[in-house]
Amino acid sequence: MRATIVCGLGFGDEGKGETIAYLSRRVRPDLVVRFNGGAQAAHHVKHSGVRFRFSQFGSGSFEGVPTLLSSFTFVDPLLLIDEAERLKGADLASPFSLLHVDAEAVTLTAFHAYVNRIEELSRAEDRHGSCGLGIGVAFQDERSGAPTMRFADLYDVSLLRRRLQQIREHQIERARSVMGAAPLSKQIEELFTDLCEPAMPEFLVERYTAVARRVRCVDGLAKIRESSTLLFEGAQGMLLDMEAGFFPHVTPSHTGPRNAERLLDAAGFTGERTTLGVTRTLPTRHGHGPFPTEDPALFFERDNNLKPGFQGSFRVGHADRLLLRYALDCMRPDGIVLTHTDYRPDRICVAYKEQSGALVESIADLPEPKADALRRCRPVYESVEITPPRDVIALYEERMLDRNPVVLASDAPGRFIERSSMILP
């Protein structure tokens, strides 16, 4: 019995999807478990020469590996339909036959998304970097005791109809309170009009019941107990973690291995557990938030998320030892997956300089609030040269990873080099 947990060490976009797809081919697991986040994930996998973006389905789907959306995920039924149709177009004949959703998974509605976007747009220049799908809104509602829908509610039409009305009414009031305190734009007014559309609840009832007819609603822990070889596919990255990240530019979930460990504990799993932290040779960030080594001149042609979405533009920076070691301290992985090793960095950030001129050599040394402090910092670089027989992997192990071993490296989509079979499943 073995469980391998795959998490990102950055702000997302590290290569978790390709890692899960590779491990799915390698070990043929019984199950891929999604254990945080929701449809805002964008895990790109190369299949039959074409790049495919996974959001809610596991990245082992093309290998025929079933997916469990656990109780820690936020499920968007409408986007499930869209993703299943895209999978069919990519020659996966019956996507929903591979999907299992925990009955207790919080389920998103269009109302959550409308309010999420209204709130984010109202922040103007102080946007948090939200993807605008409603996950933060649903998370806050669940914690506060506001009307919340679980995936099991989709299977009881009268309950579903009632729950949607409750959520709609609550979100209208929430939107009004936001709009009363901020200048209104045409975009915000249009979103509020859509939120108040009286026909929307019945439209959602029809679409959600159609999803319920095709998707298996399960006891997620029982599904884990049935499996002996598991892959846990994380979303976002350690630097966006709700506790370890730089508030308010965080995601409303634990992005490290915590949720996966809790699921394994609750299921009574007694097998071996391994956590792999995924990072890349040049860091990226999608949307708003501090990014000390950002360099607009950098461009890497095979990055997948270059098109700006609601959350903002795709940003690239130089290797940052402080942020990477902070993420390693928070996650404590057993091994490292290093992606984009075909890129050769010419410098690494080894410290920051504050506006006062003081040198910062660890994230722990930053004053609170750390997001503001990080935004004011300027990188201090050391030049590096990569010459044979030394390669970029050796550079990272020596200068960046604080003695954490690289066990798997990728220099092209779908192509990996194994460097240690002891830690890999």
Q: Is 190 annotated as a binding residue?
A: no
Whether 142 and 156 have beta carbons less than 8 Å apart is answered as no
**Distance (Å, whole) CA 133 – CA 114:** 8
Helices (H), 180-214: 186-195, 200-212
Q: Is 268 annotated as a binding residue?
A: no
Q: Is 13 annotated as a binding residue?
A: yes
Q: Is 293 annotated as a binding residue?
A: no
User: What residues contact residue 384 under an 8 Å CB cut-off, 6+ apart?
Assistant: 345, 346, 347, 348, 395, 399
Q: Is 16 annotated as a binding residue?
A: yes
Quick one: CA dihedral 70, 74, 77, 83, positive or negative?
negative
Q: Is 236 annotated as a binding residue?
A: yes
Q: Is 14 annotated as a binding residue?
A: yes
Q: Is 372 annotated as a binding residue?
A: no
Q: Is 270 annotated as a binding residue?
A: no
Number of CB atoms found within 10 A of residue 414's CB: 14
Residue of 30, 43, 76, 402 with catalytic role: 43
13 is catalytic: yes
How far, in Å, are 278, 351, 412 from residue 301 at the CA level?
Answer: 20, 28, 11
CA angle 408, 411, 415 (to 5 degrees): 70
DSSP per-residue string spanning 140-175: HHHHHT----BGGGGG-HHHHHHHHHHHHHHHHHHH
Q: Is 342 annotated as a binding residue?
A: yes
User: What residues contact residue 194 under an 8 Å CB cut-off, 6+ apart?
Assistant: 110, 114, 200
Residue of 13, 102, 320, 334 with catalytic role: 13
List the end-to-end C-alpha distance of the chain, in Å, as a whole number: 10
Strands (E) located in 21-129: 31-34, 43-47, 50-54, 67-69, 74-75, 99-102, 106-107
Q: Is 411 annotated as a binding residue?
A: no
User: 422 in the Ramachandran plot: left (φ > 0), alpha (ψ -120 to 50) or beta?
Assistant: alpha
**Beta 67-69 vs 31-34: how paired, if at all?**
parallel
Structure tokens at 210: 């159609």
Q: Is 209 annotated as a binding residue?
A: no
Q: Which residues make up each annotated binding site for IMP?
A: 13-16, 236, 251
Which residues form the catalytic set?
13, 43
Q: Which residues make up each annotated binding site for GTP?
A: 12-18, 340-342
Q: Which residues make up each annotated binding site for Mg(2+)?
A: 13
Q: Which residues make up each annotated binding site?
A: 12-18, 236, 251, 340-342
